[in-house]
Structure 1
Amino acid sequence: MVQRTYTSVALGRVDFRENCASCHGLSGKGDGPVHSFLVKPPADLTTIAQRHGGKFPQELMWDVIDGRWAAEVGPHGSREMPVWGSEFKARAMTEPGDSPRTAAWASRNRIVSLLKYLETIQQP
C-alpha cells in the first residue's frame, strides 16, 4: 500500500508534472501542451506571489487546488481545472485497506506538497 503520510517539495514536483503540467507547462507558465484547447488559458503559476503583493497566498491557492468548496464557475458554466481534492481522495481510496479518513489525509498531503512546490517556482 502506497501512502503519502508526509509532505515535501519533491512530492509536489512529481504531482505537478503528472497532473498539472499538461495545462500549466513544466515551467508553470501556462504553456502546457493542451493549453490551446482550453476555454480559459491556464494561469502562469510562477507569478502567483507577484499578483498578491509579493506573498504566496497559501489559503487561496489551497482553495483553488482543492476545489471542493469553491463556488467559482467559469465564464462558460464550468470549472476546467479538476477538483483535485476529490480526485486525490478518490485515487487514494483505490489503495487496499484505505479508509475515507486516510484517503482524506493523503489528499491533504498531496495538496500541501503541491503548495510547497509552487512556492519554489515563484519569480521574484
Structure 2
Amino acid sequence: MAALTLSFIGAALSGLTGPAVADVVGEREYMVACAGCHGESGLGDGPFADLLNIETPSLVGLSQANGGAFPFEAVLMTIDGRDNLRPHGSPMPIWGERFQASATSQRGETADMVARGRILSLISYLRSIQQ
C-alpha cells in the first residue's frame, strides 16, 4: 500500500509542476547533492567517487536494470534514507535528514514537506536522464 501511495504522490506532483520545471529544479539539486559522487552525467564518475571504498553506481541505467520501468519507490527510499535500516557507516548519505534539517519555508510547509519536495525533484531529474 505504501508503494502505491508513494507512486501516486510522485505522479501527482510531476503532473502539477510539469516535467520541465521539476527537471530543472531536480538537475540543480542533483548537481549540488549528487554529482560529486555520481558525476555530472550520472555515470558514477564524480570527483569524489575514487575516494569512496565502494564503486559509485551509474544512475542512468536504473530503468534498464528494472525491466524498462523507472524504479520510483526504490529510488525514493534510497535517496531519502530515513526509512531504511542501513548498517552504520553506509556510504550513501541520508538525504532526507539533511534536507529536513536545512529546510526553510515562507509558505508554511513543514520541514518534511520541503525535504520530500527536494527528493521528488531529484527523482524527476533522474527519470529524465535514463538511457
Give TM class, smaller chain: 0.7 to 0.9
Which residue pairs with 2:90 in the alignment? 79
Q: Give 1:44's aligned residue.
A: 58
Shift of 1:36: 0.4
Q: Give runs of ≥4 in structure 1 deviating > 6 Å.
A: 96-99
Give the structure-1-normalised TM-score: 0.83
Which residue number corresponds to residue 3 of structure 1? none
Q: Offset at 1:102?
A: 1.4
Greater fraction of residues in helix: 2
Task: Name stretches of at least 5 consecutive residues in structure 2 with no aligned partner.
Answer: 1-16
Kept after mapping to 1: 8 A contact 2:59/2:130: yes
> TM-score, normalization: structure 2?
0.79
Give the number of the structure with larger relative contact order, counting CA–CA contacts within 8 Å between residues 6 or more apart.
1
C-alpha distance 36-58 of structure 1, shift in aligned 2 (>3 A): same
**What is the CA deviation profile of residues 69-94 of structure 1, one whole-angstrom value per residue up to 9, with x for unaligned ones?**
11233xxx5211110000000011xx
Distance 1:98 1:42, change over 3 A: farther
1:122 partner SS: coil
1:103 matched residue in structure 2: 111
1:1-124 paired onto structure 2 within 5 Å: 8-73=22-87, 77-92=88-103, 95=104, 102-123=110-131
Identity in percent: 38
Equivalent residue for 2:5? none
- Superposition CA RMSD, Å: 1.8
Any gaps of 5 or more consecutive residues in structure 1?
1-5
Partners of 2:33 and 2:97 in 1: CA distance = 14
